[in-house]
Each structure stands twice: as C-alpha cells, then as structure tokens.
Structure 1
C-alpha cells in the first residue's frame, strides 16, 4: 500500500450510512439479505431486533456499497440520477488517467470518458471545466437535459460531483477545498446530504450544477500507480462517501493535524509552524501556494469544520461553540460562520 495515504480500516462506520444503503436497496426491490451476506454482515441493521453491536468496519461498508452498485449496475449508486456508471467503469477511468501530466488534463479526459462511456437518459448540455477571468478559481460544471420521465434529484447530482472531487484529491494527494457550489434544482427538504459534502455556500435554482475550487490544483501531478488504484478501489466507497483519505503528501493535511480539534487557545504562528514542519518559511509558502491555500485559510477552514461538527452533534450553545473554535466575540463568530456557509449558526443548526 502506498505510503502517501492513510487507509483507516479500523474506523467505525456510522450505522446511519449503512441503513441509507439498505433503504436504497429496498427501494430498488433488491434482495437485501443477499447483499448483506455478500458483504459479510452477520445481522440486518434495518431490523429493530438486530444485535446491539453497531460497529461496522470500513471494509464491510465498502463491500456492501460494491454489492449494491453491482446489483444496480451503477457505480455512482444512483447519485447522478440522469445516467448510470456501468460496473467496472471507475477502474477503467482511473487507469486511463494515470499517465496524465496533471489534474487539469486528467479532469478533461474524465469528461471525455464520461461522455462516451456512461449510459444516459438525456442530452448533456454542459460538462466542462471553466477557469474564472482572474485564473484563481476553476469550476467543474455539469447539467443534463434529462428524460422528463426520470428527472434526477439535482442535489444528488451535486453530491456526486463532490464525490468525484474527493477522487481527484486522492489522485493528487492534495486536499481540494470546494469554496462554493451551485445547484440546478430547488433547495431540497433535507440539507443533511449536502451539508455532509459541502462546508461552503450552495446556491440553488442555478443554471448549472457546479463546484468551484482553486485553479492551482489543476497543475498538481498525479501520484498514483495501477497498484494504488487496486488498493483504493477496495475501500473507495468509504473514502469517497464518508471520510476522504488523509494524505501524508499534502501540506494542508499535515497542518490540519498539527492544529488539532480544540482551537480555543493560541494557535502556532507561521514562524512556529515552520519549525514544527522543519522547513523554511519560503518553502512552506511555496508548498501552500501549490495547493491553492494559505495558513490563514487552513485555520479558517479548521474553525469552520469543527464548528459545523459541534453544531450538528454536540449539545453546546452557539457561544460555547464560538469559544471552542477561538472566537471570544460571538458576533464575530456569527459573521464568520455566515461567510463560510451562507447561513448563521442558528439557521445551520
């Protein structure tokens, strides 16, 4: 297994993700018992009388995903509602990208691959990479005129695009921060899936589904080999859907690890950080610029992600959350959170 990434095979998978897969299998009228046997589950998580054990391994979850996708003959798991990704397509796609010079070339080739190899219900009107006039950000845009008999859930299409960006991050060993997103459809009744993938503002009723990120990532070289692809595919569903792989190559990931989860105290200065990473200030700035980020942005994103996690799960007041992520002034936290997510902390909760 490559040394550039950490596969968390012993991480417990939340039961809610497993149940969501089984509900999807039920809705598709598949044999749930057969899928569970194929994935090595000794019990059915949908049954109230199931064993109290709730630990599900990364490999079990990934096997269940793959069993479902194979039964559906759709490796996107229905996320991209206007087309199917036939079983085996992802493996062939990744192999076809390995020798691309950089991520930009790989993403353009993936657009070509998808146009020729996916089974579609409607005409694709937009599928392109567009760099903004300042050349600082780039948007992956997608919109299809789907069969009106089978209209896609546009928020699901957007989540599918976020999953693809996680694959792109794995290919380059970089953390790709999506800074904004747009969705063709109206705001869905539940924002939980979108919040899982997007820690940034999402604009609805747009003319195109799009994810926007730093254009510097397009120049990143691809780091993977055929052996890496085989290792990745074994647990890809977990890392694409639930938790992206933490690459040891990415300087962003290393700094996030140094910052930890409690940002209430003083964070290291840039000079202190260079000592912790054993590199010069010039080298660190160059590495950060290469990944399309900065130390300040990494700190802001860490505060954002921890605040989102605490607001979603912990029984803490907004003021307590603000203090936990380093804001002594709750009003400043409100302003920052609104800038990060497009919602106030209260609205988000």
Structure 2
C-alpha cells in the first residue's frame, strides 16, 4: 500500500521549538530535565539560542511529554488530547473513500476532542480551506502549527502524497523565527490576520484513500517522527538543490552556476528564487553539514576526525569551530547524553 517517501530524514529542529514544546509542562512544575534526558537533549543545548536538535530527538521529546502529561497536544488546550487519541483517529479515518470524507472525519474528531479550537472545511471554486475558530483567546504560533501538523500529516499519509499548502493565514503574532514552520508547511504564512485558515488545491479532496492495516501499522510506529519530516514543498528551488546535495558527498558538491545549468536556469534566476525563499546556497550547504553532523554525533560512534573528513573539513579543529558557530555549542555537548 501507499507510503509517502521521506524527503530528508536528517533534518533538524530549532531549539526554540523545544522551548515551545516544554512550555506547559514547565508551567505545571513537571520535571523538564528528566524529559530532556530521555530524549537525549542536554541542558547546555537548551541555553544556546542557535542550537538545533535532530528530528528523532524532538520526536522522542514529544513522546516523553505526552507520556508524562497524558496529553499529545503538549497541554496547550483546555482539554487534554489523551494518549492514544491520534492512534485512534488515524485508524478510524483509514476506511474513508476519499480525502474529503477523511478530512471531514478528522476535523469532527478533533472538534469533539479539543475545547479551544473548532475547525471546518470549506470549498470555494478551485480552493479548499480549513478554517480554525478559537473558542477562547488567540494562541501562539506553535499551537496552530502543532494542530495543523496533526491534520496535514494525516492528510498526506492518507493520500499517499504531499498535499501542497498554498497559504496559511493566522490571527497570532509572528514568532521570532518562523523558518522551521515555512519548511514544514509553506513559504506563504501571514500573521495578524482577521481569521485562521490554510488554503490548498481543492482537487486533492478527490484523492482515493489507499491505506490498509499494514501501512497504518508502519505509519503509527513512526509517529510523531513522520509528522515532522515527511512533507516538504518539493517545488521550492531550495528543496530541489537540497535533494541534490543530500545525494552526493560534500567533496563532490557543485558550484551554484553548475546547479543552475542542471535546473535549466540562469545564475540570476536561481539566486533570485533562493532569495525569495529566504535562503542562500551557502546556507543550504551549511545546514546540510550541520544537520549531518548532529545526526553523526547523536546516532553514531564516529570520531570527530571521521565526521570532519566525511563533511569535507580540513581538520577536526575547523569542524569544531564551524559547529560551534552554527549551533552555539561544541560537538561534545551533543554527545553528552548519548548512551
């Protein structure tokens, strides 16, 4: 049955989203340090504004918080989303004929479960909208993003493909940095709007659901990790370049003008497209080396020499300096909690 391929399982997540995830637990006086320890995230990382954690570390933190609080929604709604809620939801929508019927069921389920959000599906001409109505005060971006991640992640899995979001409008203020949200959802996120909605092509609603018990079991075994990594925008130039860079060793990376030729673009066009997506070619290369380094440090026993060689640094000290510049902490800080 249909499984959506991971575009990039080596992505990382900003430490600011770790702070967001821990916010309610912290307010309730729960043992934050124990949760971080189980997720393999050191306190040193928590105090570095530039630090990032691996997808698997963040997914494990989500599980730890959900277990301790008995709430899969980080304690952000007046009514807890008790453990097992998402599992029950994903299993119950699998039998829907079309994505439209499945999405209506998803929203109905969440409307019954949560108190602070009520959502509805609308179709106008060529576009579909999920409109979110708050029942209380406007929440912070992280709450809307987590809510949408549960819905959108499930939609993509049910459809067996990426559901491209055209635009998101939200009532809340913009977070200090929304790059992680743009990577996960879409580039066009607008804040301080009069209503909350996401917009996507209505044709997606006609997709036939092609999942079964076996593919559901694989999906749920990898949740929440697959909700975090699966569905990046494949049409963004930065995504195309990133995909190319991920497939070759850093020693074989091409110059930007060579990549432009491969994509049938001029140098000026590719630079303009990257600028409009808020990223440069150098930043893409740095991000991949940084994310790969975090992956090596947290998941392997590779020495700093080996990591330095693999990421094409002159020597370990050059790698050490670059890593500290990227994340604000030394490579050793990422190894502290590694069992």
SS at match of 2:30: coil
Taking the TM superposition and a 5 Å limit, the aligned residue runs for 1:123-134 are 127-132=119-124, 134=125
SS at match of 1:139: strand
* Residues 223-249 of structure 1: per-residue CA shift (max 9 Å, x gap): 2223323322333223323x2158xxx
* Residues 165-197 of structure 1: per-residue CA shift (max 9 Å, x gap): 132112211111111111123444443454343
Measure the CA separation in 1 of the matches of 2:67 and 2:210: 28
The alignment status of 1:231 with 2:218, answered yes or no, reads yes
The alignment status of 1:244 with 2:230, answered yes or no, reads yes
SS at match of 1:236: coil
- The aligned counterpart of 2:202 is 215
| Gapped regions of structure 2 (runs ≥ 5) | 246-255, 287-339
Measure the CA separation in 1 of the matches of 2:99 and 2:60: 28
Asked if structure 2 preserves the Cα contact closer than 8 Å seen for 1:73 and 1:84, the reply is: yes
Q: Quick one: structure 1 residues 156 and 14, their matched pair in 2 at CA, closer, same or farther if it must change by over 3 Å?
A: closer
The alignment status of 1:195 with 2:182, answered yes or no, reads yes
Taking the TM superposition and a 5 Å limit, the aligned residue runs for 1:300-339 are 303=273, 307-310=277-280, 313=283
SS at match of 2:203: helix
The alignment status of 1:66 with 2:63, answered yes or no, reads yes
Of 156, 173, 178, 2:160 maps to: 173
TM-score by length of 1: 0.60
- For the aligned residue pairs, the C-alpha RMSD in angstroms reads 4.3
Measure the CA separation in 2 of the matches of 1:12 and 1:199: 16
* Residues 53-108 of structure 1: per-residue CA shift (max 9 Å, x gap): x9976544423211112222221224x54653221110110111011001100010
Measure the CA separation in 2 of the matches of 1:56 and 1:189: 18
The alignment status of 1:139 with 2:129, answered yes or no, reads yes
- The aligned counterpart of 1:4 is 3
Measure the CA separation in 2 of the matches of 1:128 and 1:49: 37
SS at match of 1:264: helix
Asked if structure 1 preserves the Cα contact closer than 8 Å seen for 2:22 and 2:32, the reply is: no
- The aligned counterpart of 1:342 is none
Taking the TM superposition and a 5 Å limit, the aligned residue runs for 1:1-349 are 4-6=3-5, 11=10, 13-14=12-13, 16=15, 19-20=18-19, 23-24=22-23, 25-36=25-36, 38-39=38-39, 41=40, 44-47=41-44, 58-78=55-75, 81=77, 83-116=79-112, 118-120=113-115, 122=116, 127-132=119-124, 134=125, 136-146=126-136, 151-163=137-149, 164-192=151-179, 194-241=181-228, 243-244=229-230, 260=244, 263-267=259-263, 303=273, 307-310=277-280, 313=283
Shift of the alpha carbon at 1:21?
A: 6.5
Asked if structure 1 preserves the Cα contact closer than 8 Å seen for 2:3 and 2:215, the reply is: no
Asked if structure 2 preserves the Cα contact closer than 8 Å seen for 1:155 and 1:194, the reply is: no
Shift of the alpha carbon at 1:213?
A: 0.4
Q: Which moved more, 1:188-197 or 1:91-100?
A: 188-197
Q: Quick one: structure 1 residues 137 and 22, their matched pair in 2 at CA, closer, same or farther if it must change by over 3 Å?
A: closer
Q: Quick one: structure 1 residues 159 and 67, their matched pair in 2 at CA, closer, same or farther if it must change by over 3 Å?
A: same
Measure the CA separation in 1 of the matches of 2:143 and 2:22: 19
SS at match of 2:280: helix
Asked if structure 1 preserves the Cα contact closer than 8 Å seen for 2:122 and 2:129, the reply is: yes
SS at match of 1:99: coil
- The aligned counterpart of 2:302 is none
Q: How many residues align?
A: 263
* Residues 20-45 of structure 1: per-residue CA shift (max 9 Å, x gap): 37753444422234324544x3xx51
Shift of the alpha carbon at 1:218?
A: 0.4
